[in-house]
Structure formats: C-alpha cells, structure tokens
C-alpha cells in the first residue's frame, strides 16, 4: 500500500493530519519553501514536529524547494546544516545547488526531488537518483503510462511520489511567472497570488473600455484556471503503476480541509469507503470541479458549466473537549439551535446530532453561534474528543 502524505501549514494541521491517518506529513521550514511565510514552521517548530511524528511512528518531510539565487547560497548552506540535525526524515528540493549543499551538510537525510524540478521521464529520474535522490516527485504532467515507464527504469530503492488531490497549476509543473509579472510576488519564491484564478476579459485595441468576456460560461471566464485534481477513482491504478507515495496538495489550507481529505483517502486505502463514498466526502469542503489531472491525458480546465466553487458542507467548529454531554468548541461557521451538525472523527463513520443548549463566549445562553474563533459550549449526546470537527450541510443552511 502506498504512503499517504498530507500537507500541514501549522501545528494544528500537522496533528490533524496524523490523527486522521496520514503516514507522513510535509511542512515548510523558516526559509526556502514555496509557500507564504505564515505556513512555515520556525526551527524549533520543525524539531518539535519531527519528534511528534516519530513518537507516532510516522514521518516528516521539510520542503526546501525554492530556486536559489547566488545571494541565497551562504544562508542555504547554513540552513542545509540545520536540516541535517532537525531529525526530519527528508528534505524536498528542486534546486541542484541546494541538493548539493544538503549532500555536503546533511549526511543521512533523505533527498526528495520536488515536482518543481519537472521530472517527467526515466532518464531524468535516473540522473536524480544518481545524484542521491531517494524519491522523485514527478511533474504533474506525468501520465499513468509515464509512471509505469519511469518505475521500470529506476533502481528498486528509489521511490516515486505523485499528487493525488488538490489545486493544479496551469503552468508547466508549477513554473509560472504570472504572479511575479502582475504583482511582483514570484510563485517560484513562495509568493504566488494565484492570478490564474482571476477573471479576465478581452479588450480590442481600437475600442478601449469595451470588455469582451472570454468563453461562454454564464459565471464568467477563467481560461487559465484548472479544475482541481482528484484521484479517488484510480488509486489502485497509481499503486499498480509503481507509486510509493500519494501526496495531497494544500499547505495553505486549514485543518478542516486536511481532516476531510486525509480521512477520505485513508478510508479508501483501508477499504472502509468505496470510491463513491470517498468522492461524497471530498465534496464536503469548498473546491473547484474535480478532474483526473493529466493522468489520462490533457488537463481539464475552466468551469465545466458548473459553479466556480462547490461545497456540500461548511466547517462549523473544532472540538476542544467533551464532558457529561456538553461539548466545548472553537466556532468556525455559523450554526443555530435546532440545526443538525455532523461530527468528523478519526476512524469513525460520520455521526449527527441536533444542536441545543448553546452557551456563548459571554457565558450566556444563545440561539446562534456566530462569532468565528470564539469559544462556545453546546449539548451533544455523542461522546466527542479533542480534535473532532463539526460541519453542517449547506442544503440545510438557514439565515
């Protein structure tokens, strides 16, 4: 069975990912990661995360996959030295210079080649292996046939990792200059503003101000924006093709996304859910229409005649504690007395209860929980545990 690899942008997401069944988690450290700084762990956080993972018998990988400029080299060497001592299991790299520094300064640390390195063929994969890579994370343009061919050409000890879920980039394996050009924030330095998902229109040169929509979709045009990847219906084919690790995208996402996606794929891999049931779970958070990415051919893009974003449920709250029929929660989405909430718990089927007995942050009874991030308590006949998540169906949402 392949490894299930989850993202974490903070400690809560890290713990959630492991709790809901991830075999390994990848994070960003304090530098050289391709995400915004707020999703990076500081050095003490990286060390703590590695210890937490190992106490559970799990693994931790640290992304250091930014492309280096000449001025980055001195700091990169010192950072490579830190990665060699932080007890992480692997570093994820794109830049050949960074790989070289890690080989010199971080003896024994596994090296995983990032998808940003655009590895899409067996010759390239073999070269990375010869340079010391333990794992190659293939470019997202790789098809199932490509994966089979690459696997057959690699030494047995070298692993293949692929993405199975999340946002897709319209640029070649994520190498995009749109953000840098339009906003001055480079995607290849961790600052992507995702301009591929903005709306665009066409202006004819002699008719300034006359904006012409591109495409026929009634909600507008997003010709640069891909659909989201979902591999729930063909995990067995990826495994049979030789994939060792199935990776979920989303270090910028919160704990509700992490819990829902990890739970669905863990249940699918363990045979506790069918693909149909997993797909239903994967519709429980906001996402763009799903596609199979490049695995069976060209990437699907645009709206496909449906809404920009779809969601069957919204995040209602994080369970802090439960005792004697009352749950203490951190509220994240509005809910009211009399409404039904669903409980997402590790290893358990989804359970439901009707909301009653709400006590607000001021300690007074109330009919509605509507202050995001604030503490509430409510009556709940189900036994809950810290880290369980509450959600409600969008079809049942009132005012």
In a domain, 297, yes or no: no
Residues 259, 118, single domain; the answer is: yes
In a domain, 286, yes or no: yes
Q: How confident is the model at residue 307 (pLDDT cuts 50, 70, 90)?
A: low
Mean pLDDT of the chain: 90
In a domain, 306, yes or no: no
The secondary element (H helix, E strand) that includes residue 318 is: strand 313-323
Q: Is the pLDDT of residue 215 over 80?
A: no
Q: How confident is the model at residue 342 (pLDDT cuts 50, 70, 90)?
A: very high
Q: Which residues pair with 25 in a beta bridge?
A: 6, 60
| CATH code of the domain containing 38 | 3.20.20.60
Q: How far apart are CA 305 and CA 308, in angstroms?
A: 9
Residues 20, 56, single domain; the answer is: yes
| CATH code of the domain containing 387 | 2.40.30.10
Q: Report pLDDT digits (tens) over 71-103.
A: 999 999 999 999 999 999 999 999 999 999 999
Please name the residue ranges forming H helices in the chain: 11-19, 43-55, 73-83, 96-105, 122-130, 144-153, 178-183, 235-240, 255-269, 275-281
| HSE-CB for 330 with a 13 A CA cutoff | 10
Q: How far apart are CA 102 and CA 85, in angstroms?
A: 11
Per-residue model confidence (pLDDT) at position 343: 98
Residues 278, 317, single domain; the answer is: no
Owning domain of residue 251: 3-171+226-291
Residues 206, 96, single domain; the answer is: no
In a domain, 59, yes or no: yes
Number of CB atoms found within 10 A of residue 7's CB? 28
Which residues lie closer than 8 Å to 178 by C-beta, 6 or more apart?
Answer: 171, 187, 195, 196, 224
Residues 137, 164, single domain; the answer is: yes
User: Contact 3/244 with Cβ under 8 angstroms?
Assistant: yes
Q: What share of the chain is helix, strand, coil (3-state, %, to 5)?
A: 30, 25, 45
Residues 182, 330, single domain; the answer is: no
Residues 65, 138, single domain; the answer is: yes
> CA triplet 38, 114, 119: central angle to 5 degrees?
150
Residues 196, 250, single domain; the answer is: no
Residues 130, 56, single domain; the answer is: yes
Residues 123, 161, single domain; the answer is: yes
Pairing state between β 159-166 and 375-379: unpaired
User: Which of 166, 158, 151, 172 has the alpha carbon at shortest distance from 130?
Assistant: 158
Last residue of one domain, picked from the residues 156, 184, 213: 213
Q: In percent, how much of the chain has pLDDT > 70?
A: 90
Residues 189, 165, single domain; the answer is: no
Per-residue model confidence (pLDDT) at position 100: 97
Which residues lie closer than 8 Å to 207 by C-beta, 6 or more apart?
Answer: none
Residues 150, 234, single domain; the answer is: yes
* DSSP annotation of 2: -
Q: Give the total number of structural domains in the chain.
A: 3
Mean pLDDT of 242-246: 98
Compute CA 244 distance to the chain's CA centroid, rounded to the nearest angstrom. Answer: 18
């Amino acid at each position: 069975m392949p490894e299930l690899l989850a993202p974490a942008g903070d400690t809560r997401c890290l713990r959630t990912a492991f709790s809901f069944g991830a075999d390994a988690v990848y994070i960003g450290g304090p530098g050289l990661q391709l995400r915004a700084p707020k999703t990076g762990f500081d050095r003490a956080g990286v060390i703590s995360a590695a210890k937490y993972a190992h106490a559970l018998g799990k693994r931790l990988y640290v992304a250091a996959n930014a492309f280096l400029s000449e001025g980055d080299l001195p700091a990169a060497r010192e950072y490579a030295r830190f990665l060699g001592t932080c007890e992480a299991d692997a570093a994820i790299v794109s830049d050949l210079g960074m790989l070289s520094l890690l080989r010199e300064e971080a003896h024994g640390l596994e090296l995983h080649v990032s998808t940003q390195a655009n590895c899409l063929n067996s010759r390239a994969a073999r070269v990375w292996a010869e340079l010391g890579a333990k794992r190659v994370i293939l470019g997202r343009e790789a098809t199932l046939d490509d994966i089979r061919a690459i696997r057959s050409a690699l030494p047995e000890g070298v692993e293949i990792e692929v993405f199975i879920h999340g946002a897709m980039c319209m640029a070649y394996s994520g190498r995009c200059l749109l953000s840098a050009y339009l906003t001055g924030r480079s995607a290849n330095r961790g600052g992507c503003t995702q301009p591929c998902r903005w709306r665009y229109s066409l202006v004819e040169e002699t008719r300034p101000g006359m904006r012409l929509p591109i495409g026929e979709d009634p909600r507008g045009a997003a010709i640069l924006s891909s659909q989201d990847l979902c591999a729930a219906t063909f995990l067995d084919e990826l495994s049979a093709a030789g994939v060792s690790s199935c990776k979920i995208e989303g270090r910028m996402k919160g704990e509700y996304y992490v819990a829902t996606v990890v739970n669905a794929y863990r249940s699918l891999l363990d045979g506790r859910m069918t693909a149909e049931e997993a797909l239903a779970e994967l519709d429980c958070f906001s996402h763009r229409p799903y596609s199979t990415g490049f695995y069976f051919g060209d990437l699907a893009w645009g709206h496909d005649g449906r809404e920009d974003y779809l969601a069957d449920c919204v995040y209602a709250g994080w369970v802090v504690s439960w005792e004697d029929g009352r749950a203490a929660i951190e509220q994240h989405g509005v809910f009211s007395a009399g409404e039904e909430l669903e409980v997402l718990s590790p290893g358990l089927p989804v359970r439901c209860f009707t909301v009653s007995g709400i006590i607000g942050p001021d300690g007074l009874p109330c009919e509605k929980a509507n202050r995001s991030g604030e503490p509430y308590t409510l009556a709940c006949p189900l036994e809950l545990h810290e880290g369980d998540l509450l959600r409600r169906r969008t079809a049942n949402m009132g005012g």
